[in-house]
Amino acid sequence: MKVLQWVFLAEKQLMMEGLCHALSVDPDSSNNEFERDNFPSETSLISYCLGLVILNEGTTIIRLVHKSLQDYFDTEYKKGQLFAGGHKDIVLICLTYMNFNYPDSEHLECADIPEFAEKTLKDYAFLDYSDSSVDVNDQFKRGASSLVLTTIPNHEHILYQLQRIEIDINSQDGYRETALVMAATKGHTDVVRLLPEREDIDVDLKGGESYSALLGASYNGHEDIVRLLLERNDVDVN
């Protein structure tokens, strides 16, 4: 089902090698090194799907076997019967892949950068897809914003990656939750420490239950987070 989910929800054409890379990624792992030992074989990916996916003739592009299957998946997806949470899975895998420690990237001279970039894109086949397909401000608001996803434990490294790019730090998911409110309510101290580093964050913005990060932390007894928030001079204690 993971193969079908990727092929159906992909924002652009998927190459077989890139899909193998994506399927080998574990977003819950704290290991920032890409593990090639986890690769599925290309033959097994096709056979497991029982003829529902094929490779375009003469290429390595993987796609659904027929438009009628695409239409069926689209109908079931819109009814919430198929691939629920699929976009959340995809964004975590894309961001995890972008956050890997790529070898030989330190101490590069300017003249070496183009050659390094070309080699990296060749060796890490999913990098081109993940880097160009993650729209962190729009695409993944179909259930949960990418920032809210980073408040899940062990995803602080992805949050750091997101904060380095242009993103709406106050974005809300389908339930009007914000990353800061959710992290404060759940007691994720490291996330609460990172988020307010952005000058444009609204620390008093209320979440889906109409309470702020400070109230959420206080109600759930997270004293360390309460202290962190009270250190700021822009927090409304009322």
Model confidence over 117-148: pLDDT tens digits?
567 667 888 877 776 665 544 444 443 444 55
Q: What is the model's pLDDT at position 160?
A: 55
**CA-to-CA distance for 238 and 104, rounded, in angstroms?**
51
Report the share of the chain in percent with pLDDT over 70. Answer: 73
Q: What is the model's pLDDT at position 207?
A: 73
Question: How does residue 102 score in pLDDT terms, banded at 50, 70 and 90?
Answer: low
150-209 pLDDT, tens per residue? 555 555 555 555 555 556 777 776 667 787 888 888 888 877 887 777 778 888 888 766
Answer yes or no: is pLDDT of 48 > 80.
yes
Question: How does residue 225 score in pLDDT terms, banded at 50, 70 and 90?
Answer: very high
Helix (H, G, I), strand (E, B) or coil at 54: strand
Tokens of 117: 């970039």
Q: Go through the chain and tell me how many residues it has.
A: 238
What is the per-residue burial (b if ≥16 Cβ within 10 Å, else e) of 34-65? beeeeeeeeeebbeebeebbeeeeeeeebbbe
Q: Are 41 and 161 in contact (CB under 8 A)?
A: no
Helix (H, G, I), strand (E, B) or coil at 76: helix
Measured in whole angstroms, the distance separating CA 181 from the mean position of its chain's CA atoms is: 19
